[in-house]
């Protein structure tokens, strides 16, 4: 079978650095931290009192009151990002085959805020099971995909991918493969997460996965730095419009870049820790290059998973050197999680947008808060410390790795 080419024709986001793509990209270029103290609940008894949160978001500006009741924040973020991406794509809904248009959306957790509220109501009451009829439809991890498909009447493939922090990269890979094989012309893909709440923060604190550096919260997300102590929780959504190349060309679409390939692997090692030698990370990058029919020297930029966990950053840096050899020192590498925090299941989508913009604009967003490099990380790597760098980006690779050993990567390249 001759595989069809797939391109990106629209992008949208709402995340800790901006409520649209332009705000997000401007703040990425400028190295802005999205960290703030949490004010939505009492953090006095929590080890971590800060997160990277969406700012100035009022759901009533986007949805009527009845809709808000039906939508967990993770679905609200999904719909806002999808609406921006669809507008950006310029797709005329009256001129497309809706049976060949689908939605593949991701969330690592789903409606955690809804679960929190419903359990609080039940256990804080007299034991009478008074649950909202919207409890289950608000909470389940696939429901955002359903809402998006109903909004745009997309009747093609429609499902959700769940692979922890690799979830939305897996959604993009699924969309890529479905369009490649002629089963759809257009797919809305991406992911959303809303886990900055009592259960989310408490659970990740119990895992000792997130930073507790409350005194220096603005700079607490420190990928590759010797003083890092865990990731910073983030929230929001990222959306990509994937479209078959000839279909996009026929309608005169603006094309950001091509989705050249995607790869997957498993560490098969530990529930939460990466393989210490970066085995899964190495295999997923090799698989992605093979799928794209590209060589290591074709890549100019890697947007790394780079969460600022003690083990994860070392394993990923080792894997990059193993895969790219001497070319590893010619590339730019950066972790945009240093600015956005870690959006869990939505991380891959917003980092794919950062990679798309790097290709499209010729600018590498920095790794901020990098002052003292971990001595176990190869100092010859250009981690784009603290300040954005300009360069032509022929192709960018975006890595995402999730609890359970799930690894997924994509390559985005100039047409």
Instruction: Identify the pLDDT of residue 180.
Output: 98
Q: ∠ at Cα 181 (180, 187), nearest 5°? A: 60
pLDDT digits (tens, 9 = 90+) for 289-310: 999 999 999 999 999 999 999 9
Given the residues 247, 275, 305, 406, select the one marked as catalytic.
305
pLDDT digits (tens, 9 = 90+) for 139-159: 999 999 999 999 999 999 999
Give the span between the Cα atoms of 213 and 166, in whole angstroms: 26
Measuring CA to CA, which residue among 58, 63, 25 is closest to residue 147?
A: 63
Lowest mean pLDDT among 256-265, 269-278, 306-315, 384-393: 269-278
pTM over 0.85, yes/no: yes
Number of neighbours of residue 386 by Cβ within 10 angstroms: 13
State yes or no: is 239 an active-site residue.
Answer: no
Measuring CA to CA, which residue among 74, 412, 52 is closest to residue 219?
A: 52
pLDDT digits (tens, 9 = 90+) for 208-255: 999 999 999 999 999 999 999 999 999 999 999 999 999 999 999 999
Q: Using 50, 70 and 90 to split pLDDT, how confident is the model at 1?
A: confident
* Tokens encoding 289: 């290059």
Give the span between the Cα atoms of 117 and 392, in whole angstroms: 48
Residue ranges and CATH numbers for the domains of the chain are 7-250 (3.40.47.10), 263-413 (3.40.47.10)
DSSP string, 121-181: HHHTTTS-----TTHHHHHSTTHHHHHHHHHHT--S-EEEE-BTBTHHHHHHHHHHHHHHT
State yes or no: is 305 an active-site residue.
Answer: yes
Give the N- to C-terminal CA distance of the chain in Å, as an integer.
Answer: 22
Q: Using 50, 70 and 90 to split pLDDT, how confident is the model at 68?
A: very high
Cβ contacts of 223 within 8 Å, gap of 6 or more: 304, 306, 307, 308, 313, 335, 337, 338, 367, 369, 370, 383
State yes or no: is 342 an active-site residue.
Answer: yes
Instruction: Identify the pLDDT of residue 264.
Output: 98
Residue 101, CA distances (Å) to 23, 31, 84, 91, 288 in order: 28, 36, 17, 11, 25
Given the residues 52, 165, 239, 257, select the one marked as catalytic.
165
Dihedral pair phi/psi, residue 203, rounded to 5°: -65, -45
Q: Please give the distance of CA 160 from its chain centroid, rounded to a whole number.
A: 14
């Amino acid at each position: 079978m001759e595989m069809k080419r797939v391109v990106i024709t629209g992008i949208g986001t709402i995340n800790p650095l901006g409520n649209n793509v332009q705000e997000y990209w401007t703040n990425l270029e400028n190295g802005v931290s999205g960290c703030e103290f949490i004010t939505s609940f009492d953090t006095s008894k929590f080890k971590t009192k800060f997160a990277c949160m969406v700012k100035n978001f009022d759901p009533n500006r986007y949805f009527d009151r009845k809709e808000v009741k039906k939508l967990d924040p993770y679905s609200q973020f999904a719909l806002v990002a999808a609406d921006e991406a669809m507008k950006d794509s310029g797709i005329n809904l009256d001129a497309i085959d809706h049976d060949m248009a689908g939605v593949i959306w991701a969330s690592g957790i789903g409606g955690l805020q809804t679960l929190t509220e419903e359990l609080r109501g039940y256990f804080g009451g007299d034991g009478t099971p008074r649950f909202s009829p919207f409890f289950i439809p608000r909470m389940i991890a696939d429901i955002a995909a359903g809402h998006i498909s109903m909004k745009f009447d997309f009747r093609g493939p429609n499902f959700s991918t769940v692979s922890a922090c690799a979830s939305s990269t897996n959604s993009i890979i699924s969309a890529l493969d479905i369009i490649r094989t002629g089963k759809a012309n257009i797919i809305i893909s991406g992911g959303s997460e809303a886990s900055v709440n009592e259960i989310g923060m408490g659970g990740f604190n119990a895992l000792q996965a997130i930073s507790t550096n409350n005194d220096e919260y603005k700079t607490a997300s420190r990928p590759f730095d010797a003083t890092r102590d865990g990731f910073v929780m983030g929230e929001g959504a990222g959306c990509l419009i994937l479209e078959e190349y000839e279909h996009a060309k026929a309608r005169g679409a603006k094309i950001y870049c091509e989705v050249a390939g995607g790869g997957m692997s498993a560490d098969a090692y530990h529930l939460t820790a990466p393989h210490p030698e970066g085995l899964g990370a190495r295999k997923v990058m090799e698989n992605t290059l093979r799928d794209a029919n590209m060589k290591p020297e074709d890549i100019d930029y890697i947007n790394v998973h780079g969460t600022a966990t003690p083990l994860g950053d070392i394993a990923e840096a080792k894997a990059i050197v193993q895969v790219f050899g001497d070319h590893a020192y010619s590339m730019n590498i950066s972790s945009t999680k240093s600015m956005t925090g870690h959006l869990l299941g939505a991380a891959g989508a917003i980092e794919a947008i950062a990679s798309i913009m790097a290709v499209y604009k010729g600018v590498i967003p920095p790794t901020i808060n990098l002052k003292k490099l971990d001595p176990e990380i190869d100092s010859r790597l250009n981690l784009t410390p603290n300040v954005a760098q300009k360069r032509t980006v022929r192709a960018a690779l975006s890595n995402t790795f999730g609890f359970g050993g799930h690894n997924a990567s994509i390559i985005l390249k100039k047409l």
